[in-house]
């Protein structure tokens, strides 16, 4: 795995491309979000989406530069994504957003 497609670097790119509030809202709603400017995003599994067959239920797909062939992608569990997301938000000083993500991990999506 290259550094650029590690979960941490992909989440850092995502957080750097979108507002913390938008990322938190997407996580609460259990749906993907992306930046059209940077090509960074996260996709949740969706059985009706032909683009997500590589995702499995309970997994997310993180990508930058719109994913392969020229970009990067990685798959991980939703819980790992949320853990890294909370850590990344906290490291950037967005503790309120990080705490909201921590609550989602504990089972509170509201």
Burial zone of 107 (CB within 10 Å; 0-12 exposed, 13-18 middle, 19+ buried) = exposed
Global confidence as pTM: 0.84
Q: What is the pLDDT of residues 51-77, one digit of tens each?
A: 664 667 788 888 888 777 777 888 899
Closest by CA position to 32, among listed 19, 22, 40, 42: 42
CB-side neighbour CA atoms (13 Å) of 109 = 7
pLDDT class of 82 with cuts at 50, 70, 90? very high
pLDDT class of 5 with cuts at 50, 70, 90? low
């Amino acid at each position: 795995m290259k550094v650029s497609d590690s979960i941490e670097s992909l989440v850092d790119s995502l957080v750097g491309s979108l507002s913390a509030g938008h990322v938190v809202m997407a996580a609460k709603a259990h749906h993907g979000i992306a930046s059209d400017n940077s090509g960074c995003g996260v996709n949740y599994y969706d059985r009706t989406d032909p683009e997500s067959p590589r995702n499995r239920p309970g997994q997310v797909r993180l990508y930058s530069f719109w994913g392969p062939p020229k970009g990067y992608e990685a798959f991980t569990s939703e819980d790992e994504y949320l853990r890294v997301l909370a850590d990344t938000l906290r490291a950037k000083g967005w503790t309120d957003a990080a705490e909201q993500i921590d609550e989602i991990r504990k089972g509170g999506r509201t």
